[in-house]
Amino acid sequence: MDRFDAMKAFTRIVERRSFTQAAKDLSLPRSSVTDAVKQLEERLGVRLLQRTTRHVSPTLDGEAYYQRCVSLLADLEEADAAFVGGQPKGLVRVDVQGTLARRVVLPRLPEFLERYPGIELYMSEGDRLVDLVREGVDCVLRAGEPKDSDMVARRVALLEEVTCASPAYLARHGVPESIDALQQGHRMVGFRSSLTGSLIPLEFQVGGEVRHVVLPTTMSVNGAETFVAAARLGLGLIQAPRYRLEEDFGRGTLVPVLPQHPPTPTPVSLMYPRNRQLSPRVRVFIDWLTRGFTAP
C-alpha cells in the first residue's frame, strides 16, 4: 500500500473509530489497514492510535496527523479531478430524513448522477441525531433548527407547516374556531424531540407573535410516518409540513384547521462537519443540493 493509500486508511480508522469498519468502507482486508497504520507509525516514529479491545482513538500526534492527512487527501483528489476531465468521483455518504429523501432528493437525483457519473451515492434514512465523523457520513439533510455548533449548516428551504386532524376526530371534538377553543376537550398526537425526548408543543402565529400550546395526548411518537398515521386514525391534532399532507387533504383523510394561525415554517438545512475539508465529490453534492433545492 502506497503512502497516500495508507493515509486514506488511517483517516478512515480515525473517523470510524474501528479498523474493521474502516476496512469495510475501503473494501480492503482488515489486515491491510492494520499493516498500513503500522507502516505509518514506523516511518513517522510516533504512535498514532490508542487501541483497546472495544475502542480506537487517535493520540495527540495522531489527531494532528489526521488533520494534515484530511487536507492533503482533499487537495490530491482535487488535483486528480483537474486532469481527468474535471469530474469528481467516489462515494458520497448522506443521511436524510425519510420523507425528505423520497419527496425531495430522490426525484432530482438522476439529474445529479447523470452530471457526475463517477460519483456513487449512499443514502441512509433517519430522524435521529447522527455523529457524522464517527459514523462515516459526509453530510446530513435535516428539518428543524440546527443545534450542533460543530456543524456548518446551510439552509436550503423553509417548509410551510399546517395544523390538521381527521374528519372522525373533528366530528367527535368539534372544529376549533380559535386557539382558545383548543382547551375545550381537544387532544394532540404528541411528537417527542429526538434531542431531548420531550413533547414538542403546537405553535400558532398570532399577530406577529408565536403562541405555544400543549394539549393532552393519548399517544406520543418520534417517527414522522407514525405521527401522520395516528392523526388519520383520529387520535388527535398534529402539525406537519404541508407537502407531507397534501395527498391526505386531497383524499379527505385529514382536514386543515385554524388556517388563520399557521405554525412557523420549518427550516431545512444541509449540515457537515466544521473542521473537515470537503472533498470535491462531497462539495459538488452539497452545492448541487443547496442550489437546486425546491421546497415541495
Question: Same domain for 97 and 184?
Answer: no
Cα–Cα distance for residue pair 284/256, rounded to 1 Å: 39
Geometric angle at alpha carbon 102, from 144 and 277, rounded to 5°: 60
Rounded (10°) angle between helices 30-44 and 19-26: 110
Which residues form the domain of 8? Answer: 3-82
Question: Same domain for 241 and 272?
Answer: no
Question: Same domain for 169 and 150?
Answer: no
| Among 145, 149, 185, 151, CA closest to 267 | 145
User: What pLDDT does residue 91 have?
Assistant: 82
Q: How far apart are the first and last CA of the chain?
A: 47
Question: Same domain for 96 and 44?
Answer: no
Cell of 140: 446530513
Question: Same domain for 140 and 278?
Answer: yes
User: What pLDDT does residue 24 have?
Assistant: 86
Question: Same domain for 150 and 193?
Answer: no
Question: Same domain for 136 and 213?
Answer: no
- Report the CATH number that the domain containing residue 31 is assigned in CATH: 1.10.10.10
SS3 content of the chain, % helix, strand, coil (to 5): 40, 25, 30
At which of 34, 60, 82 does a domain end? 82
User: What pLDDT does residue 245 have?
Assistant: 93
Question: Same domain for 166 and 259?
Answer: yes
pLDDT tens across the length of the chain (296 residues): 788 889 889 988 888 888 888 888 888 899 999 999 999 999 899 999 988 767 788 898 988 888 888 878 877 776 666 655 567 778 888 888 777 777 778 888 898 999 888 888 888 876 655 666 566 678 888 887 777 667 788 888 888 999 999 999 999 999 999 999 999 999 999 998 876 788 999 999 998 899 999 999 989 998 888 999 999 999 999 999 998 899 999 999 999 999 999 999 988 888 887 766 677 888 889 888 888 766 55
Question: Same domain for 23 and 75?
Answer: yes
Number of structural domains in the chain:
3
Sheet of 238-241, strand order: 238-241, 161-165, 255-256
- Do the beta carbons of residue 159 and residue 295 sit within 8 Å? yes
Count the Cβ atoms, other than its own, within 10 Å of residue 147: 11
Cell of 240: 406537519
At which of 57, 82, 107 does a domain end? 82
Question: Same domain for 169 and 248?
Answer: yes
